[in-house]
Chain A
Amino acid sequence: MDRDAPAVGEGTNIDDEAPRIEPTIETEAATKTDDAELERTLGLVGGLAIGIGTMIGAGIFVFPGLAAGRAGPAAAGSFAIGAVIALFVALPASELATAMPKSGGGYYFISRGLGTFAGTVVGLSLWLGLVFATAFYLVGFGYYAVDTLAELGIAVGNGLVIPLALLFGAGFTVLNVTGTENAAKLQNGIVALLLSILVCFLGFGGLDALGLVGEPAAPERFAPFGAFPVLTTSALVFTSYLGFAQIATVAGEMRDPGRNLPLSMVGSVLIVGTLYVVTIFVATSAFGSERLAELGETAMVEVGRHYLGSIGALAIVFGGLLATISSANASILSTSRAVYAVSRDALLPRRASRINLRYGTPHVALGLAGGPILVLVATGQVELLAEVASFLHLVMYGLICVALVSLRRDEPEWYDPAFRTPGYPVVPAVGAVASFGLIGFMQPASQITGVAVMAVTAGWYFYYARDVTLRGAL
């Protein structure tokens, strides 16, 4: 063997564990290590389903009411700004993912491009960011579950939102530990069903809103509160775009990663971005934004009722249940992959990535996700959960762009991406500035929570893993 353990990727953590880094050969269908082959089984459709399935729950089914209340009809602009920022990050992330098609996504790129400290902070923040995001999706699910009961004639009131969210959060965690067979196929089916519900609904609503069918809607000023709320709303709803980075966490399992990773990341952002903007347009055309704000998390149900009567309301309630379930489930899965990626590199104790003998599932990592998720769900703070999730992801997105620039300026020998970001260096520069900039428009409470979480992860690095070196260690 001419490829002995590289000089980088050394050092041990406080438990005396070293990063497990071995030479591998990547083919389009499998990763080959010295003793085993790891099949790449996920195709383009699977990648898109993870991206869209994670994103669609929040943007369409939870945020329209909240966003319209803040920014008026210009909330559509807030979603568009979010989509553009997500695109400016998705392109550099795609390049890095094709150069390093491994589990771990953003964490992997940053630890290899910028070093262990940035890597640890991002890796642990990604885990916690996903925990916040999942909690947010689950609370959204709780609202839809209560509304579903209401549609069925069982009025229980919003007091049951959190208990229901907790119940299902615990349920999903157990389900994932005991091994749901064909979870990915189910996810594909849910996403396909959701997209068809939405395209029908938005098609009809869009025609109506443009005044082609039905009665013309009451005109409203586009941005009644001015430009600033449009930006703060962007910061709030950015949680709707976190899913594309979750595709990178399964990069190690994607077939033909050079093609499928960029296509699924950019494609899923374009698809959901378009759906979001149209949804907000349709929603704000149905009701004034004040009315939407009153309706809150499940405003879309009333929008459905407005256009298509009780069938519309039922379709949206059903869609909302599916979408928030799919978002929550997809993020719980990504969380366990994030934990695995950092524990493989000795930044967390190795036992965090143990696999359950009976079910073959990573029960410790799933537990590390499920526990904190339930604690956060119990707070019930929809906007705070969403913004902290966005905060932690945005830091990672900004650093992904920085890592790209850093790697490109002094390209190491191993750096050979199949996809190169168009418009370099403008695209990653804009991506980084926009990602960090958007954080500035969040509520102070979210900013403080986000900074505190990152401080804790930095503290963990200095306590646990300061001797580990990862930069350039593939």
Chain B
Amino acid sequence: MTRVLVPLTVLEGESVSPGLVRLLEPVDVTVLGYHVLPEQTPPDQARLQYGERATDALADLATAFEDDGREADYRLAFTHDRDQTIDRVAAETESRAYVITGAAGSVDRLFVALTGDVAVDRILEFVVELVGDREIGVTLFLATDAEADGRLALEEAVETLSRRGIDAASTLVVSEGPLDAVSGAPFDALREAAAEHDAIVVGEHAPSLQSFLLGEKPERIAAESVGPVLVVRPPARDASSASLSDSS
């Protein structure tokens, strides 16, 4: 079954909204409680002082996902680097996506941006799993500088979803060049359209100069919209990198 990672800054009181819990009903969930420390503080030192409190809070949060006999496990991590921890735990748990939490009531319509470095098929596969047989509509969004190809890709995507009984609409924005798609008018269009939806699905971006300067795109979208953002991860690079991380 598809697994989704829910990272929470557990010691700062971040929690999950009931809408997000309901949205994630069809998938397995791992709650990752994490706490980011300044570089002066060894993670172990923080664990000794906060570990117990964090574990208690985390166990409570995980039970929110445990209805209908569904299992939700949780992990606790102390780190200097949030992204590295989310990345590692997502890889270890083989999570298909991770969540940037946000307030959500009931989700009627998902906004799905077919941008980023994750193949369109992989994003659609995840959306199909997530929606399941529920009455949740999907708006597909694509910004591209190749109009004809973009239109074709969107049509195919709408058809893929429709075949699975999902009500899908699409929006195409034509940009001037590849850079324009992530910062200029198309990105503004994306943010505006996204803000009108209850929840957002995007593909993860490989780190770039732009994300270094402006911040990660999913985080920027999350900052603009109140709803949760689900970030679909690319498939594991290769078998060797996976085995490297769990040899002890």
What is the minimal beta-carbon distance from B58 to any residue of chain A, in angstroms?
9
Interfacial chain A residues near B51, Cβ < 8 Å: 35-36
The answer to whether B42 touches A28 (Cβ under 8 A) is: no
Assess A27 versus B76: contact at CB under 8 Å? Given A181-B38, A353-B45: no
Assess A37 versus B55: contact at CB under 8 Å? Given A353-B48, A362-B40: no
Q: Is A361 an interface residue (CB 8 A)?
A: yes
Assess A179 versus B38: contact at CB under 8 Å? Given A28-B244, A37-B77, A39-B79: yes
The answer to whether A360 touches B48 (Cβ under 8 A) is: no
Interface residues on B, range: 20 to 34
Q: Is A344 an interface residue (CB 8 A)?
A: yes
Q: Which of A74-82, A206-214, A227-235, A332-340 contacts B (4 or more CB under 8 A)?
A: A332-340
Assess A183 versus B40: contact at CB under 8 Å? Given A27-B248, A39-B88: yes
Interfacial chain B residues near A103, Cβ < 8 Å: 42, 44-45
Q: Is A253 an interface residue (CB 8 A)?
A: yes
Closest to A363 in B: B40
Distance of A407 Cα from B55 Cα, bound (Å): 37
Interfacial chain A residues near B49, Cβ < 8 Å: 354-355
Closest to A36 in B: B76
Interfacial chain A residues near B41, Cβ < 8 Å: 355, 360-362
Interface residues on A, range: 35 or more
The answer to whether B38 touches A36 (Cβ under 8 A) is: no
Distance of A179 Cα from B40 Cα, bound (Å): 7
The answer to whether A36 touches B40 (Cβ under 8 A) is: no
Q: Is B122 an interface residue (CB 8 A)?
A: no
A340 contact from B45, B79, B81, Cβ within 8 A? B45
Distance of A360 Cα from B42 Cα, bound (Å): 10
What is the minimal beta-carbon distance from A6 to any residue of chain B, in angstroms?
18
Give residues 40-64 of B contacting A (CB, 8 Å).
40-52, 54-55
Beta-carbon contacts of A21-57 to B below 8 Å, as 1s and 0s?
0000111111101011111011000000000000000
The answer to whether A29 touches B44 (Cβ under 8 A) is: no
Q: Is B80 an interface residue (CB 8 A)?
A: yes
What is the minimal beta-carbon distance from B240 to any residue of chain A, in angstroms?
13
Beta-carbon contacts of A354-396 to B below 8 Å, as 1s and 0s?
1100011110001000000000000000000000000000000
List 15 A-B residue pairs with CB atoms under 8 Å apart, sorted by A's residue number. Answer: A27-B246, A28-B247, A29-B88, A31-B43, A36-B55, A36-B78, A38-B43, A39-B43, A41-B84, A103-B44, A180-B40, A184-B39, A337-B42, A355-B50, A362-B41
Additional 5 contacts, C-beta under 8 A, given A29-B245, A33-B47, A340-B42: A35-B76, A38-B77, A103-B42, A252-B43, A362-B41
The 9 A-B residue pairs with the shortest CB-CB distance, nearest first, are A39-B79, A38-B43, A179-B38, A36-B76, A37-B77, A41-B80, A41-B81, A361-B40, A103-B42
